[in-house]
Amino acid sequence: MTTTHPHATRSDIQSRLDALRVEIERRNPAQPEFHQAVHEVLDTLAPVLAARPEYAEPGLVERLCEPERQVIFRVPWQDDKGRVHVNRGFRVEFNSALGPYKGGLRFHPSVNLGIIKFLGFEQIFKNALTGLGIGGGKGGSDFDPHGRSDAEVMRFCQSFMTELQRHIGEHTDVPAGDIGVGGREIGYLFGQYRRITNRWEAGVLTGKGLGWGGSAIRPEATGYGNVLFAEAMLRERGEDLEGQTVVVSGSGNVAIYTVEKLLALGANPLTCSDSTGYVVDDKGIDLELLKQVKEVERGRISTYAERRGASARFVPGGRVWEVPADVALPSATQNELDEEDAAALVRNGVKAVSEGANMPTTPEAVHLLQRAGVAFGPGKAANAGGVAVSALEMAQNHARTAWSPARVEEELAHIMSEIHGTCHETAERYGAPGDYVTGANIAGFERVADAMLAQGVI
C-alpha cells in the first residue's frame, strides 16, 4: 500500500489494507494482541482513505503501524534475602507526531513485547482523541510486584529507571502507571530519575503524589471518565445512568473509581472481581469496604464477601458477565469479555458496554454486541480520561501550579463529552451512525495523520 490513485475504489483500498495486515503479521510474529489491535483499526480505515487519498501517498498507514523506537533492556535486582533476579524491561515509543510519547508502565508477569506494542498502538489513537497534544507509547516489565515487600519493589524500580531514564524526559517521553504500577511505584521511579539526572523534572512522570507534583483526580480519572462516556452513550438513546444496574469487572484502581462514580450518579454497581473470581452484591457494592480490602489491605475480593454479610456472595472462578444488568463496564484486562460472555449479556438485556480497561472485549464479542444494537464504547475513547488528566498534570507541572479537584473534574467532564461527540459525529460522517469503534478509530487517525503529513516522511 505505497500509493493510492485518487479514484481508487473501496475494494482496491481494502485489498491494500489486507495486504498490509498480512505484512504486519509476518514482520511481528507471535504478537497476537498487537495483531488484534492493528486489525481493529485497519478494518475501519477504508472509508477515510477513500475520502482522503492523500493519506496513502507517503506510506502513512505503514509508518503508523511501525513504532518509532522499541527499547528492551535487562533489569537485575536483589530480593530481601539477597538473591538476584533478572527481569526484562520494555518501552515502545510508537508515535510522536502530536507531542511527546505518553503512556503507562505495566508491571505484570504477562508483559511481553507484543502486549506493550498493542497498548502503545492503542495509545496513539486514545491520546489523539483527547485533543491535548500527546503522542503514543507504552512500557513495562514482566516483574510481579504482588507479594513483594516495599523494599523489593523499590530496588526493582530503581534498577528499571536506571536504564529507562536514558530514553524519557518531559519533552520526549512521559510514562505513567498502569497495571501493577501505582503511586508507590511512581514514587520510587521518580526518586531514582531525580537521583540520576540531578533535575526536579516534574513533568517526566505522571501519576505522582499530590504533595509533589501530582494532579487531583488522577487516580479516579480512568474510572470516572468511562462512566461519563457510558452515560453519554445512554443519553444519546434518551436514557441516563440513574437507577441502572451495572456489572463491573476488576477491583483495581479503574474498577474502584468506576464504582465510585456510578454511585455518585445514582446507578447500582453489583459486582467486582479479581483473578480468583467475582463478588455480586445484591445491595450494591459497598465502596468503603471495597477500598479497605483492595487499596489498604491489598487483599482478595473474597474477603469483601466475607465481611459484607448476607447481601454479597463470592463466586470462585466465575465471570461477572453472567450477572444480569443494564450496563457492563469491563475494567480489568485485555480480552476478558469473549463472545460467549457477550451473548449472555445480550440475553440478559444489556443496553451499553463501555471499556474501562484496554481492549477487554474480543473482536467477536464486539461484533455480537453491535449486531444486537448494544451501545459499545471502545477503550481508546471510553477510558481516555486517565491519560487526559495525565496531560493536565503535565500542564500543571509546566506552570508550577496545582489545580483544585473541582477544576480538574470539570476539565475531565468536558474532555469526555468532547470525545463522545467527536466519535459520534465521525461515525455518522463516514456512514456508520452509532458505531463508536469506527468513529474513534477514524477520528484519532485523522488527527495523527494530518500531523504526520505536515511533518514529512520521518
Q: Which residues are catalytic?
A: 138
C-alpha grid cell, residue 323: 450477572
The Cα–Cα gap between 84 and 78 comes to: 4
Over the Cα atoms of the chain, what is R_g?
21
Largest separation between any pair of C-alpha atoms in the chain: 68
Pairing of strands 245-248, 271-274: unpaired
The secondary structure of 154-171, three-state, reads HHHHHHHHHHHCCCCECC
The Cα–Cα gap between 273 and 319 comes to: 8
Name, in order, each residue with C-beta under 8 angstroms of 272's C-beta and a sequence gap of 6 or more.
Answer: 248, 249, 250, 251, 255, 259, 278, 279, 285, 290, 301, 304, 320
CA 23 remoteness from chain centre: 26
C-alpha grid cell, residue 437: 469503534
Residue with cell 454479610: 309
Closest CA to 152 of 111, 107, 195: 107
Distance separating the N- and C-terminal Cα atoms of the chain:
17
The string of DSSP codes covering 39-103 is HHHHTT-HHHHHH-GGGTTTTHHHHHTS-SEEEEEEEEEE-TTS-EEEEEEEEEEEE-SSSSEEE
71 φ/ψ angles, rounded to the nearest 5 degrees: -115, 125
Residue with cell 462512566: 227
Alpha helix ranges (H) inside 328-404: 339-347, 363-371, 379-382, 385-399
The Cα–Cα gap between 3 and 93 comes to: 26
**Residue 316: burial class (beta carbons within 10 Å; 0-12, 13-18, 19+):** exposed
The Cα–Cα gap between 458 and 442 comes to: 22
Q: Are the C-beta atoms of residues 239 and 351 closer than 8 Å to each other?
A: yes
Q: Are the C-beta atoms of residues 104 and 178 closer than 8 Å to each other?
A: yes
